[in-house]
Structure 1
Amino acid sequence: MAVIIFLLQFLAAVLLLPLHILYYLGLWDPITKKFFPHLQSRLCITYNKLMVDEKRKLFRNMSDFSGPSKGLRLLELGCGTGANFKFYPSGCKVTCLDINPNFQSFLSKSQAENDHLIYERFLVASADNMTPVADGSMDVVVCTLLACSVPDTPAVLKEVKRVLRPGGAFYFMEHVADINESSWISFFQKVLNPSWKLIFDGCSIRKTTWKDLENAKFSELNLRHIIAPLNIKLAKPHIIGYAVK
């Protein structure tokens, strides 16, 4: 089976040879950084329509984590186009963080459409090194469809725990590797992952993010595995939930 997977990975790489050449020449990353926000803005519309019930259920208790200060202080990691804004409680004070500055124009549109929130700042930074965000300064951190594209998920979770106040919550919704290693979805995830990562700006469909969350030693972890109602079968396996510092 491993040999078959390797041969199919090689075939996919051959079919995408021009992209691989651009990548190794250092020319592909600047292209994807400019192109990906446009692609994500379209994908997020479809994703939100299909996942609206799950998102509403996920964020419905968010107000319970308001701290002693007025208003809920929220940090969204990999905020992208602002697809989650409409699910946040009114009056929430939002700090947006993304490593790609090209998302800012898309964020402005989402902010205008969701004026029930208070937008404090947009930070261009990596989720595993959020030095502009002070220790214990956030009531809630949100991360959806980001862990798939960060190289070091444990480092991100360490940063999340640092910026959260005691008793604060970390909300997550991520597509992951299929937990059934013998399934066809798992097979094709293994075959297509190298090429998938190239096309989708480092996104991996083989991340076992639930293991990183289990090892992060939050005081409470509420995590569910679901099969999302998506059209792309390789991205159907999801984890969803929240963890309390």
Structure 2
Amino acid sequence: MEESCLVVLLRLCVQFFALPVYLLRYLGIWDPLCKKMFPYFMAVASIVYNKLSAEKKEHFSNLKDFAGSTGVLTLLEIGTGTGSNFEFYPAGCKIICTDYNPNFMKFIDKNLSQNPHLQMKCCFVAPAEDLHQIPDASVDVVVSTLVLCSVKSTEGVMREVLRVLRPGGAFYFMEHVAGALSSWSRFWQQIYDPVWKILFDGCHLTRETWKDLENAGFSELKLRHIQAPIYCNLVKPHIVGYAVK
């Protein structure tokens, strides 16, 4: 979408006020600092997010429908973060956790200890675009919440998701996305996006992730656009649903 002169001007103003962050990044200080501090931010934000979003509990309510022939659900969560989704997974579920940021691992361990109804199969550091440690067609469900906004290649993630899912398995997603065209959400997202990506470890505000899901090649896609009941208007536009291989 073509950007207006006003968007460009306001974006430059925001970037001007963020010059200290740009300087720290240029000096090689900001990125490693951000990766260390971001998990602490998410540990607090995810608690608030879970309390505000009744949608999330409902979203995961039918996970058991995709359990394999043994009746035990094997679930891979990409971008596990702090493990804030663990409380929503069914009892006896076998989970595989991945995240590209190793600083999340101690938070995952803590949340796992608070959710003894789950069985951890393995947990490793890896980007969602490269899950070579996981065999083809070996999991029943893949979960992604607030992850696809920050991956380097959404298309690459979709390929890996389809590879590791068994036939008939499902990809559950809950992601913040770009607001509707000509909306105030989209207007402010365009302005803040460059600085937001730096402040929040690569998170993009203007991704139209639903298009990647539509083009990924799933046999069935159930997707809804919602306005999440959270405080920050920039990330209120969400998509939620699941796609079947």
Once the 2 structures are TM-superposed, how far is the Cα of residue 123 of structure 1 from its aligned partner?
1.1
Match for residue 190 of structure 1?
190
Match for residue 171 of structure 1?
172
Match for residue 152 of structure 1?
153
Once the 2 structures are TM-superposed, how far is the Cα of residue 70 of structure 1 from its aligned partner?
4.8
- Helix, strand or coil: the match of 1:193? helix
Instruction: Determine the C-alpha separation between the residues in 2 that align with 1:25 and 1:209.
Output: 32
Residue by residue, what CA displacement relative to the aligned partner does 1:47-88 show, whole Å, maximum 9, x if unpaired?
00011x211211111101011235110000000001100000
Instruction: Determine the C-alpha separation between the residues in 1 that align with 2:64 and 2:155.
Output: 26
2:25 to 1, 23, 26: 23
- Helix, strand or coil: the match of 2:75? strand
Once the 2 structures are TM-superposed, how far is the Cα of residue 96 of structure 1 from its aligned partner?
0.4
Residue by residue, what CA displacement relative to the aligned partner does 1:96-139 show, whole Å, maximum 9, x if unpaired?
00000111111111001100000111110000011111111100
* Gap regions ≥5 residues in structure 2: none
Residue by residue, what CA displacement relative to the aligned partner does 1:184-231 show, whole Å, maximum 9, x if unpaired?
111100001111111111101101000000000100000000011111
Match for residue 228 of structure 1?
228
* Gap regions ≥5 residues in structure 1: none
Match for residue 106 of structure 1?
107
Tell me which moved more, 170-179 or 70-79: 70-79
Match for residue 84 of structure 1?
85
- Helix, strand or coil: the match of 1:202? coil
- Helix, strand or coil: the match of 1:148? coil
- 1:124 and 2:125 equivalent? yes
Instruction: Determine the C-alpha separation between the residues in 2 that align with 1:25 and 1:156.
Output: 31
Instruction: Determine the C-alpha separation between the residues in 2 that align with 1:9 and 1:140.
Output: 39
1:6 to 5, 8, 22: 8
Instruction: Determine the C-alpha separation between the residues in 1 that align with 2:185 and 2:56.
Output: 24
Paired AA for residue 116 in structure 1: H
TM-score for both structures, normalised by structure 2? 0.97
- Helix, strand or coil: the match of 1:173? strand
- Helix, strand or coil: the match of 2:149? helix
Once the 2 structures are TM-superposed, how far is the Cα of residue 25 of structure 1 from its aligned partner?
3.2
Match for residue 209 of structure 1?
209
- Helix, strand or coil: the match of 2:6? helix
Identity of aligned residues (%): 53
Instruction: Determine the C-alpha separation between the residues in 1 that align with 2:150 and 2:28.
Output: 18
Instruction: Determine the C-alpha separation between the residues in 2 that align with 1:241 and 1:57.
Output: 11
CA RMSD of aligned residues (A): 1.0
Paired AA for residue 18 in structure 1: P
TM-score for both structures, normalised by structure 1? 0.97
Runs ≥4 residues deviating over 4 A: none
